[in-house]
Amino acid sequence: MNFHPELRRFITALPVAHRGSAFVFRTSGFPEPPFRRYTRTLTRSIEKKGFDVVDLFGCRGFDTWLPLRLVGGIRKGHPDATDIAAARAFAEKLRARTTATA
């Protein structure tokens, strides 16, 4: 229920400056729980570094978090073709928005 530590360290190490736009892309075995909004935490960290987070994308992904590892993980086969198509549509929407404002 968090982003990879290397990604978080990378963002923390960035100097503060106006940088432009960014987006957050995540996969997870479960929906983000209301008691642990890790996407919001990462988004705020990115914004504090000078980025404007314009959108978020999430889909199911193979998850082997500790208790799930005992049963071989969950969401095997994800991201699947449908998830990839949704990611492609997300990217195309971002590109169209960027092109329209440029």
pLDDT tens per residue, range 81-102: 999 999 999 999 999 987 877 6
Closest by CA position to 22, among listed 1, 37, 43: 43
pLDDT tens per residue, range 41-84: 999 999 999 999 999 999 988 888 788 788 888 888 889 999 99
Could you give the CA distance from residue 97 to residue 90 in angstroms, rounded to a whole number?
11
Question: What is the per-residue pLDDT for 31?
Answer: 77
- The percentage of the chain sitting over the pLDDT mark of 70, rounded to a whole number, equals 99
pLDDT tens per residue, range 6-37: 999 999 999 999 889 999 999 888 778 788 88
The predicted model scores a pTM of: 0.79
Could you give the CA distance from residue 94 to residue 71 in angstroms, rounded to a whole number?
37
